[in-house]
């Protein structure tokens, strides 16, 4: 499935190498600024093909390999799009075409300030009032939060039902009255991406803004996570490969041959190869509509840890040569163990699934 796309992969890599120069990457990282031009260019040229999931995965990997801040920004406009694609009504789905071409930016609001990984404990409430819903509450760490045109929002719609029951998804126009986004600054890494805290103050939603059926939101979002996790694995894989590119470059340029370093090279490359096989294998099930949640979670958890591990090794091996690009990789990597479910959450998913079988 992925071997056949080697031309596409090459095209993406060339694009990333051309556009994500060190100077550009540094600038957006330092200024903590979203690269609108780059995101537009990658999408409007049809460079990133959002309609083929295998291509998205490859684009994410190859772009993050060059720079994760820019690479994630360029592939994130679609963030949450799967929920619309799978469960949205026709009007909602129509937006997707604009997203594919970089004209509209999506976002997904799930996590809350007090919530973290506890999705089912969320407090944002959409109160039915006639044929409208009135949305109140807040969301935290929302990617694209301050720049999106639309946001897929998970909210509680029933006071009786607890935890993961009684949750629903809505498509919220960010220009709605009562929608407020505050950009969060001073991130450790992936600083070109936009992160925001969101407040909903009596945001009025119509019944048409409901995605799918009322009360099924938790299920929709879990379905989404089972897909998006593989893209996070792709980000992590790309970061790992980028870190290894740096190690290889350093070792070769400086003609380093000592055995301790050779062992590190072997360990890092082996772990990355394992992350790659886990990711592609899980993705190939998922993209054939036969998802294996435990394999996806394994890929995400393992690739995330590998990104951190590889970036730390790149720092160690290059040692007294604190190259800014390597530091950036190191700073970027850490988020891979945190977003779309921390490694801890993945581990619970994995063990639960694994122990279910015989």
CB atoms within 10 A of CB 48: 25
Which DSSP string corresponds to 123-135? --EEEEETTEEEE
SS3 call for 100: helix
Residue 233 makes contact with a copy of itself by CB under 8 A: no
C-alpha–C-alpha distance, residues 196 and 206, integer Å: 24
Residue 319 CB burial class (10 angstroms; 0-12, 13-18, ≥19) = exposed
Nearest distance from C-beta of residue 262 to a copy of itself, angstroms: 4
Residue 338 interacts, among a copy of itself, other proteins, none and using kind-specific CB cut-offs from 5 to 8 Å, with: other proteins
Which single residue is written with the structure tokens 């119509």?
A: 206
Among 204, 274, 316, 324, binds a copy of itself (CB under 8 A): 274
* The token pair that represents 201 in the structure block: 């103050």
Beta bridge partners of 204: 134
**Residue 6 lies near a copy of itself (rule: CB under 8 A):** no
Sign of the dihedral defined by the CA atoms of residues 173, 87, 139, 39, in that order: negative
Contacting residue, 270, 316, 321, 324, with a copy of itself by CB under 8 A: 270
Task: Spell out the residues 6+ positions from residue 278 whose beta carbon is closer than 8 angstroms to its own.
Answer: 233, 295, 298, 299, 302, 303
Q: How far apart (Å, rounded) are the C-alpha atoms in residues 70 and 276? A: 21
Binding site residues, other proteins, CB under 8 A? 26, 29-30, 111, 114, 116-118, 121, 140-141, 184, 186-189, 258-261, 263, 308, 312, 315-316, 318-322, 324, 327, 330-331, 334-335, 337-339, 342-344
Q: Is 281 in the site for a copy of itself (CB under 8 A)?
A: yes
Q: Is residue 308 involved in binding a copy of itself (CB under 8 A)?
A: no
Taking CB under 8 A as the rule, does residue 354 contact a copy of itself? Answer: yes
**Residue 37 binds which entry of a copy of itself, other proteins, none, CB below 5-8 Å type-dependent:** none
352 touches which of a copy of itself, other proteins, none (CB within 5 to 8 A by kind)?
A: a copy of itself
Q: Does 288 bind a copy of itself (CB under 8 A)?
A: no
14 versus 267: smaller Cβ distance to other proteins? 267
Position among 31, 97, 173, 351 found at the interface with a copy of itself (CB under 8 A): 351
Residue 306's Cβ-side half-sphere holds a number of Cα atoms within 13 Å equal to 31
* C-alpha span between 31 and 53 (Å, rounded): 31
251 binds a copy of itself (CB under 8 A): yes
**Is 29 or 61 the residue whose CB approaches other proteins more closely?**
29
User: What is the residue-wise DSSP string for 329-358?
Assistant: HHHHHGGGGTSSS-HHHHHHHHHHHHHH--
Does the protein bind a copy of itself through residue 254 (CB under 8 A)? no
Stretch that binds a copy of itself, among 103-111, 218-226, 291-299, 313-321 (CB under 8 A): 291-299
Residue among 216 and 248 whose Cβ is closer to a copy of itself = 248
Q: Identify which of residues 127 and 292 has a Cβ nearer to a copy of itself in the complex.
A: 292
* Dihedral class, residue 35 (left if φ above 0, else alpha if ψ from -120 to 50, else beta): beta
Find which of a copy of itself, other proteins, none residue 316 binds, CB within 5 to 8 Å per kind: other proteins
Under a CB-based contact definition with an 8 Å cutoff, are residues 155 and 114 in contact?
A: no
User: What CA–CA distance (Å, rounded) separates 207 from 187?
Assistant: 37
Q: How far is the CB of 204 from a copy of itself (least distance, A)?
A: 42
Site for a copy of itself, rule CB under 8 A: 248, 251-252, 259, 262-263, 265-267, 269-270, 273-275, 277-278, 281, 294-295, 298, 301-302, 344, 346-352, 354-355
């Amino acid at each position: 499935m992925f071997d056949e796309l080697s031309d596409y992969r090459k095209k993406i890599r060339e694009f990333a190498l051309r556009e994500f120069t060190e100077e550009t990457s540094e600038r957006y990282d330092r200024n903590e600024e979203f690269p609108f031009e780059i995101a537009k260019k990658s999408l409007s040229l049809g460079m990133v093909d959002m309609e083929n999931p295998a291509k998205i995965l490859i684009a994410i990997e190859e772009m993050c390999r060059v720079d994760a801040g820019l690479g994630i920004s360029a592939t994130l406009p679609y963030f949450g799009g799967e929920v619309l694609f799978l469960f949205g009504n026709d009007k909602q789905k129509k937006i997707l075409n604009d997203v594919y071409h970089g004209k509209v930016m999506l976002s997904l609001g799930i996590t809350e300030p007090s919530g973290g990984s506890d999705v089912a404990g969320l407090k944002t409430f959409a109160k039915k009032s006639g044929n409208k819903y009135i949305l109140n509450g807040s969301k935290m760490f929302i990617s694209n939060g301050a720049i999106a045109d639309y946001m897929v929002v998970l909210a509680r719609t029933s006071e009786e039902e607890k935890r993961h029951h009684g949750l629903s998804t809505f498509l919220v126009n960010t220009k709605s009255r009562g929608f407020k986004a505050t950009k969060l600054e001073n991130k450790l890494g992936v600083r070109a991406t936009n992160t925001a805290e969101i407040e909903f103050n009596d945001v009025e939603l119509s019944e048409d803004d409901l995605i799918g059926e009322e009360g099924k939101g938790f299920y929709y979002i879990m379905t989404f996570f089972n897909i998006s996790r593989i893209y996070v694995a792709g980000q992590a894989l790309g970061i790992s490969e980028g870190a290894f590119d740096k190690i290889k470059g350093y070792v070769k340029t400086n003609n380093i041959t000592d055995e301790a370093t050779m062992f590190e090279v072997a360990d890092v490359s082996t772990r990355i190869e394992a992350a790659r096989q886990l990711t592609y294998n899980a993705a190939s099930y998922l993209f054939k509509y036969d998802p294996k949640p435990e394999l996806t979670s394994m890929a995400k958890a393992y690739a995330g840890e590998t990104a951190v591990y590889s970036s730390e090794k790149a720092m160690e091996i290059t040692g007294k040569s604190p190259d800014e690009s390597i530091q950036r990789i190191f700073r970027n990597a850490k988020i891979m163990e945190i977003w779309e479910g921390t490694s801890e959450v993945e581990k619970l998913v994995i063990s639960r699934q694994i122990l279910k079988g015989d």
